[in-house]
Structure 1
Amino acid sequence: MKSRQLIFALVFLVLGFLLTFSYQHTKSTAEIVQVNNQEWERDYYYRKQLIDMEEKNKQLRSELNQIRQEVQSIEKELGEEADVIKDLVDTKANLQKMTGELSISGEGIMVTLKDASFIPAEDHANQYIVHDRHIHQTVNELFSAGAKAVAINGQRIYRNSYISCIGPVVSIDGTSYPAPFVISAIGEQEVLDVSLNLRNGVIDHLIQDNIEVTIEKKSNVEMYAKDM
């Protein structure tokens, strides 16, 4: 009887120990799971924050690239407008130089027309002097050859200038000049020179009319603006 009770006591003791151990183990496991759940939630939160920041940065980079493209487009338009304005300013300045509102300078040539140094006694002197038509021919040829500006004895000539003979002198826009006549032209030297010296051109006609002609190339010819 006592042995049976002893056996039951041992069995109950073992069962009690097992139950106690099982309870403690379960409690410990629950705590571990709870800690792991907290860490997972925290990790998930940080991951979500990181993903949100990455998405925001991606959006900001996209907006920045778009703004850069817009800025480049605006800069290009401004550059093109600046080029157009510059071209207009340059064109205006060139026109003002050609019309005499501004001074002009550059390479060119000087054509000097002189009366014949020898006049035969049997001929009329009128056949050996420079006339307005000779000046007209020379000036027109220079303009046709691309001269940017022309002057006679320092006086600027324009498309509507009036040149005429008054006895032994030539009147240019109301101002009289005696021979010799120095016709200055600003433009490409070679083009102007070749144009004047074409066969049966201006120079040949002047020589046939007994006019003494000399041509000199100049690295710089200056012409001042006309008085307004």
Structure 2
Amino acid sequence: MKSKQLIFAFVFLLLGFLLTFSYQHTKSTAEIVQVNDQEWERDYYYRKQLIDMEEKNKQLRDELNKIRQEVQETEQELANGAADLKDLVETKANLQKLTGELPIVGDGVAITLSDASYIPSEDHANQYIVHDRHIHKTVNELYSAGAKAIAINGQRIYRNSYISCVGPVVSVDGSVHPAPFVISAIGDQEILEVSLNLKNGVIDMLVQDNIEVTVEKETNIEMFAKDM
């Protein structure tokens, strides 16, 4: 009888131990699973944060590239605008040089018109001196040949300048100049010279009127701006 009681006691003791061990193991396993779930949630959170950050960086890079493109386009527009403005300024300056508002320097020719060195006693002296019509024809021919600026004895003239004879001298815009008359013209030297020497042209007409004419090429002819 006691032997059976001992056996039952041992069995119950063993069963209690197994139940206690099983409970502890189950509790531990549950804690491990719970910890693993927390780690997974934390890992998922960080991964999501990283994905969101990468997406935000991509958006920022796209915006930066767009801004850079806009800056480049703006810079190009400014450069084109500056080039256009420079061209306008140069054009304005060139026009001011042609109108006499600014001084001008350049190569060209110098035509000297002189009274005849010999006047026959039987002829009238008026037939052997330079008149305003001779100067007018010479100036008009030079302008037609593309002269940019013209001066008579150093006095710059303009499209509306007034040239007239006053006895043996010539008046240019009220200033009197005696012969010889040096007409300087800035422009293409070859074209100006060819134009003056055309057959039956200006020089031929001047020679027929007993005017002594010389034509020379000159460099760095300087003409001042008119007084405003």
Aligned to 1:98: 98
Offset of 1:7 from its aligned partner? 5.9
Aligned length: 228
What letter matches 1:164 in structure 2? S
What letter matches 1:64 in structure 2? L
**CA separation in 2, counterparts of 1:29 and 1:199?**
122
Distance 1:194 1:33, change over 3 A: farther
Spell out the pairing of 1:1-228 with structure 2 (5 A cutoff).
12=12, 15-228=15-228
Offset of 1:140 from its aligned partner? 1.0
Offset of 1:151 from its aligned partner? 0.4
Q: Secondary structure at the match of 2:63?
A: helix
Bigger CA drift: 14-23 or 106-115? Answer: 14-23
Q: Secondary structure at the match of 2:185?
A: strand
Per-residue Cα deviation, 1:186-224 (whole angstroms, up to 9, x for no partner): 122222222222233222222232222222222201111
Per-residue Cα deviation, 1:93-124 (whole angstroms, up to 9, x for no partner): 22322222222212222111112222333433
What letter matches 2:119 in structure 1? I
CA RMSD of aligned residues (A): 2.4
Q: Equivalent pairs: percent with the same residue?
A: 80
Offset of 1:147 from its aligned partner? 1.4
Distance 1:26 1:120, change over 3 A: same
Offset of 1:139 from its aligned partner? 0.8
Bigger CA drift: 89-98 or 108-117? Answer: 89-98
Distance 1:21 1:168, change over 3 A: same
What letter matches 1:171 in structure 2? S
TM-score, normalization by structure 1 = 0.86
Instruction: Please list every run of 5 or more consecutive structure 1 residues that lacks an aligned counterpart in the other structure.
Output: none
